[in-house]
Amino acid sequence: MAGVHDLERLRSLLGGDDLRWLRQRLRGRFERGDLATGTVNHGSPSPEERAAVDLLFGRRPTSGSSLRIDIAALEQRLRDARLCDTLRDALEALDGPIRDRRAERENLERAWARVEGRLDEACVARPWLTPWWEQVRAEGLLRRLSGGDPAEAQRLADRLVALLHRLPAQGVALPELAAQVTGDAHALDRGAPLGTLAARAAAVLGGAGGLASADDWREAWAGAGVICDEVSAPVLTLNLGALEPRGTGLTDGVLALYRAQGELCALTLRQLVDHPPDLSHLAGRDVFVCENPTVAVAATRRLGAASAPLVCTAGQLRASTRFLLRRIADAGGRLRVRADFDATGLRIVKTVLEHPGAVPWRMGIADYLSCAGAAQASTALPTTPWDSELAEAMAARRTAVHEESLLEQLLSDLVVGRGTA
């Protein structure tokens, strides 16, 4: 063994269990790249450990509450005894090769730099990715999702870049896209490492908000032209199209047909993404948003083609509804939103009001107090920034007021196309 001249004597002198602590301390210094100088201290040695050190240095038994070992003197002792050339040679012969942790860290950082450089290059070709990548890097998300392994991170980055080359897509299903890019139809599932990174990028591309809920996640992908939930939970609309549509796509034609008849039209997320309607005719116009289908049906039966444009959420906001509302707002339509006076309804209104130009529609404290309500269990209510007194009044009264209680006022607003804030 290179550098070691008498392994058996070395083992008997330095290789015992009573000197394991000393070997570990010395190995730690070499692993950190420190010079083999100075001292090693042991604050509370056992009698056996002290005796082993005394034997190592060939001296009479010592006493005391601590031990101090001069590293250079130890190395010279081993050389003089012709056991080894260096202290490092002795430690490696007894306990195996010593790692160069400094070199490992440098190699690791070089590996991470290559991974990050791959995504830096992707951002040069697609500047819209820059905010996404800056956030991912700041959070250390890629490192966490890869388990701190740069090889796994490189694999994720390569797949991610290949995926980003495909965005925006043209109505492809998410499992299909995942299979095309990775060979695994579930690689982009919500919560999967690649799916987590890619969904964030899709949200930036499509201008979506956060990814807190499953519906947020579906909307983010839909904004990038990828469908997660193709036909379930369609969004219900009334008179959203133009009698003479500016667009020539399938959805434009469908909306125009239903508009001419004043009939309700249900649109799936796939239809909205595959055949996006031209909604520019809604610029500067009020588009009313309600929660309950009862309101939409009543508007259809009693007003028909005379009703203002109306979108019905049919309960909690689904991906198709979120997608459509964002497109209406982007086209310059002014969303006027209302829902039931209960915790769910307030959350719906608060979410829709995040769209540019959106305003409440008969969702003030006066509207609430004007109607008899049904008793409900006490529950935490969201804040109501559009009317600071509303949530307080609802909490005190402990009654829910459903949209049907305001049906006549709502229909009157729809006739004239002008709601009351």
Residues of the chain with pLDDT > 70: what percent?
Answer: 95
CA angle, residues 238, 241, 245, in degrees to nearest 5: 165
Q: Cis peptide leading into 168, omega within 30 of 0? A: yes
At 398 the pLDDT is 85
At 421 the pLDDT is 43
pLDDT > 80? residue 412: yes
Residues of the chain with pLDDT > 90: what percent?
Answer: 48
Average pLDDT, the chain: 88
Which segment of 32-36, 73-77, 316-320, 345-349 scores lowest on mean pLDDT?
32-36
Q: What is the pTM of this model?
A: 0.58
At 198 the pLDDT is 92
